[in-house]
Structure 1
Amino acid sequence: MADWMKDLNEDQLNEVERQFDIYAGGTQEVIPEAELKQKITKSIKTNTPLKIKLGLDPSAPDVHIGHTVVLNKMRQFQENGHIVQLIIGDFTGKIGDPTGKSAARKQLTDEEVKHNAQTYFEQFGKVLDKEKVELFYNSKWLKNLNLEDVIHLAGSITVARLLERNDFSERLSTGKPISLHEFFYPLMQGYDSVVLESDVELGGTDQHFNVLMGRGLQEHYGKEKQVAMMLPLLEGLDGKEKMSKSKHNYIGIDEEPKEMFGKTMSIPDELMIKYFELATDLTLEEKNQIREGLEAGGLHPRDAKMLLGSTLVRMFHGEEAAEKAQEQFKAIFQKGAVPDDIPVVQWKKSRTVPVIELLVDLKMLASKSEARRMIANGGVKISGSKVEDQALEVSLTDGLIIGVGKRKFIKIQVS
């Protein structure tokens, strides 16, 4: 029997295993697993909550479903009484995390950091209980380091070790510059763990180097080492690239319920289980039932996707909004109806206009080439009739409804 299991009664052993299974579920890697069990055991024995860290670089104010993967994991810890340490990198954010970047990132101003941090915290409150979050700004301790402290911190790692990072090594090999201040980003993120004596730090797999830095620095400063928990990156709606607003493949947590539901229904079938696993608040048992149902064929992918859409909308907008979004989707896409609340556009130009120009003028498609492709793919309708002729001249009248794809509709009002 391992030392950490000694003096535990059967109920305590079961509780250790229960919590471990919840936390380890859906992770890419737990480094090391044995230490996580030891920390859970110590927490139960001493009735002392674990300190679970997540560092945030407030480089942009928008939060999407991909960002919530680590937040959902933190919520699991929070639900079992552990302490969530949310660190806003107002100091490190001025440097910018070099992870995955081919050039140094633009340094943020104090005003940009403050604005983004506030927006983050408000949006994260949709996943976490904000009343039970310890919020820190790392400038509180990092700005007070003197030169001797910084030199001691820099002495904890070699340049060769830093250059093992793919982003640094690739830039070096291609002759692209690396500014000295960029080397300090992972060091400062790791130093946050030293100051806060974190027990566990969460991060996406692209944060592997930075999160392990905290574990190494804690050992360097004589602290108990944190466990690193790496979460998978969630692919976006295209099923290929990491979810990102810049790639237009995201579901924003502040999006309207019907938009959120509609986007969810476009997720590739093969990603559904991953979305359930990483992005929802369903219990482990419920997730397992969905997985087993899909694999055995007892649960139709369409029905599973409807459940996923309803779950995501319910999480961020409530039960009533989820039910309404599902009914709207059924009415529009399964019954061929047009939504009641489509936007109305005042049309003041020529009463007759080429369909390609119309679609671009209405900003339903970004360019004429996109409009041609959409028509060729059968994705444009005028008052329910599919447009097949790219040279069509459209006669505009009050109440004419233009539809693009499955979710974009505009009603014309001629003035």
Structure 2
Amino acid sequence: MGENLSKIMSEIKKGVAEIIDEERIENLVKNYYEKGENFYVKAGFDPTAPDLHLGHSVVLQKMAFLQKHGAIVQFLIGDFTGQIGDPSGKSATRKKLDANTVKKNAKTYEEQVFKILDPSKTRIMFNSKWCNELGAAGIVELTSTFPVARMLERDDFEKRLNAGSPISISEFLYPLLQGYDSVAMKCDIEMGGTDQKFNLLMGRTLQRVYNIGKEQAVIMMPLLEGLDGVNKMSKSLGNYIGVTDAPNDMFAKTLSISDDLMWRWYELLSEKSTEEIANLKADVASGKAHPKAVKEALALEITARYNGEAAAKEAKAEFDRVHSQNQIPTEIAEFELKAGVWVVEALTACGLASSNSQARRDIAANAVSINQKKLSDEQLKLEAGEYILQVGKRKFAKLKVT
């Protein structure tokens, strides 16, 4: 299976930031095809927010690919560690989540993850099972396995220490407990983002310390840039696409990314092979294919993955109808205001502008239309009647003035 193994390994490495112990991964795949032995891949998610977005899917899609080649995915919901909070990249101690919030968020993750992973090859696990069993004696024993000096070498801890910012003892426990998850789960590979490197290596360290007979390989995926093309995809920054987003939103948001970012998304989000993506790049470079058509194909693929092919095609048709033919969407939010309302306040009330000052800037930029006619008079008062308000190409509202 030499040639096939080489091709599988090439796809496993597609988009990966770093692999530790690639030879082990190759042997695990080889053993699956030669001996029928499954191997176990772990990724942990602290249920601190109830919605998965495409940034999370980078790791999940790589796990889904591994499932096709022998992996049993151990999807770990950190219901215990989630109450501590991962300090990775944080400049201050995180607030603890209460148990009810953790439980509610964990349930949402459990439901959403099967939009990507094969349920028959996935085990949903909760680390409260073994963390609660550790008890005080087990926790003390765990803390004795790793020196404080090594813990303080961690970049974010070192920065906070030098800045005089407080670090709680519980935050030292977090990487130890994440590493202990790998001991309890006896996983062969752990996956995570590049910001998780310290925690992922802790799993290898503790598997050796507890002598479980294996040492996990590590696959680190890069952090996906969001819609702005600059910052990592994040709900708090508003530059994300959620896996539960409506098809129309998912399609339109994907089309809004830059041509440069499109290739990054192809690499990290598309199921097309490395070779197929290279061919697409060559076609665009030679003028054989237009970047917009290639981006539409990506938008269709992503939208279909989470909403089905029929919904993806409908989203494309709706987008074309509204944007290419400059028509009004079939479904838009409806509002009702009193006669004489100032158009600036109307735009804000209908959610088309975040503030009156933003609405005025939009009018000044010639980005506002009423009934498909550009608006230039920011002092306009709307009398009784029905209006279609529009800001830019994608924001619409139906307003009834009485």
Letter aligned with residue 361 of structure 1: A
Q: Which region of structure 1 is more displaced relative to structure 2, 124-133 or 323-332?
A: 124-133
Residue 377 (1) aligns with residue 365 (2): yes
Residue 131 (structure 1) shift: 2.9
Residue 364 (structure 1) shift: 1.7
Residue 72 (structure 1) shift: 0.5
Q: 1:260 maps to which residue?
A: 250
Q: 2:277 maps to which residue?
A: 287
Aligned equivalents of 1:123, 1:277: Cα separation in 2:
22
For residues 25-55 of structure 1, what are the alpha-carbon distances to aligned partners after superposition, in whole Å with 9 as ceiling and x for unaligned? 1101111323322332333333211111111
SS in 2 for 1:102: coil
Is 1:87–1:135's contact at 8 Å kept on the other side of the alignment? yes
Q: Which region of structure 1 is more displaced relative to structure 2, 96-105 or 383-392?
A: 383-392
Q: 2:55 maps to which residue?
A: 66
Is 1:396–1:412's contact at 8 Å kept on the other side of the alignment? no
Residue 283 (structure 1) shift: 3.9
SS in 1 for 2:65: helix
Q: CA RMSD in A?
A: 1.6
Letter aligned with residue 200 of structure 1: I
Unaligned runs of 5+ in 2: none
For residues 181-233 of structure 1, what are the alpha-carbon distances to aligned partners after superposition, in whole Å with 9 as ceiling and x for unaligned? 11010111111111111111110111111111111111222231111101011
Residue 180 (1) aligns with residue 169 (2): yes
Letter aligned with residue 397 of structure 2: I
For residues 210-262 of structure 1, what are the alpha-carbon distances to aligned partners after superposition, in whole Å with 9 as ceiling and x for unaligned? 11111111122223111110101111111111111110111111111111111
Q: 1:160 maps to which residue?
A: 149
Q: Go from structure 1 to structure 2 and tell me whether the alpha carbon gap of 1:413 and 1:354 turns closer, same or farther (over 3 Å shift).
A: closer
Instruction: Please give the residue correspondences for 1:293-332 in structure 2 after superposition, counting only pairs within 5 Å.
Output: 293-332=283-322
SS in 1 for 2:253: helix
TM-score normalised to structure 1 length: 0.93
Is 1:32–1:227's contact at 8 Å kept on the other side of the alignment? yes
Q: Go from structure 1 to structure 2 and tell me whether the alpha carbon gap of 1:65 and 1:396 turns closer, same or farther (over 3 Å shift).
A: farther
Instruction: Please give the residue correspondences for 1:15-414 in structure 2 after superposition, counting only pairs within 5 Å.
Output: 15-222=4-211, 223-347=213-337, 349=338, 351-398=339-386, 400-414=387-401
Aligned equivalents of 2:32, 2:208: Cα separation in 1:
20
SS in 2 for 1:106: coil
SS in 1 for 2:47: coil
Is 2:71–2:121's contact at 8 Å kept on the other side of the alignment? no
Residue 285 (structure 1) shift: 4.1
Q: How many residues end up aligned between the 2 structures?
A: 401
Unaligned runs of 5+ in 1: 1-11
SS in 1 for 2:134: coil
Q: Which region of structure 1 is more displaced relative to structure 2, 144-153 or 268-277?
A: 144-153
Aligned equivalents of 2:283, 2:202: Cα separation in 1:
41
Aligned equivalents of 1:111, 1:211: Cα separation in 2:
27
Instruction: Please give the residue correspondences for 1:2-17 in structure 2 after superposition, counting only pairs within 5 Å.
Output: 12-17=1-6
4+ runs of 1 displaced by more than 4 Å? none
For residues 250-280 of structure 1, what are the alpha-carbon distances to aligned partners after superposition, in whole Å with 9 as ceiling and x for unaligned? 1111111111111111111111011112123
Residue 18 (structure 1) shift: 2.3
Aligned equivalents of 2:270, 2:243: Cα separation in 1:
12
Is 2:32–2:70's contact at 8 Å kept on the other side of the alignment? no
Residue 359 (structure 1) shift: 0.9
Aligned equivalents of 2:109, 2:277: Cα separation in 1:
28
Is 1:259–1:407's contact at 8 Å kept on the other side of the alignment? no
Residue 396 (structure 1) shift: 4.5
Q: Go from structure 1 to structure 2 and tell me whether the alpha carbon gap of 1:280 and 1:121 turns closer, same or farther (over 3 Å shift).
A: farther
Is 2:383–2:401's contact at 8 Å kept on the other side of the alignment? no
For residues 1-21 of structure 1, what are the alpha-carbon distances to aligned partners after superposition, in whole Å with 9 as ceiling and x for unaligned? xxxxxxxxxxx2223212211
Q: Which region of structure 1 is more displaced relative to structure 2, 168-177 or 88-97?
A: 168-177
Q: Go from structure 1 to structure 2 and tell me whether the alpha carbon gap of 1:202 and 1:291 turns closer, same or farther (over 3 Å shift).
A: farther
Letter aligned with residue 409 of structure 1: F
TM-score normalised to structure 2 length: 0.95
Letter aligned with residue 397 of structure 1: G
SS in 1 for 2:133: coil
Letter aligned with residue 127 of structure 2: N
Letter aligned with residue 308 of structure 2: G
Aligned equivalents of 2:162, 2:357: Cα separation in 1:
38
Aligned equivalents of 1:393, 1:414: Cα separation in 2:
11
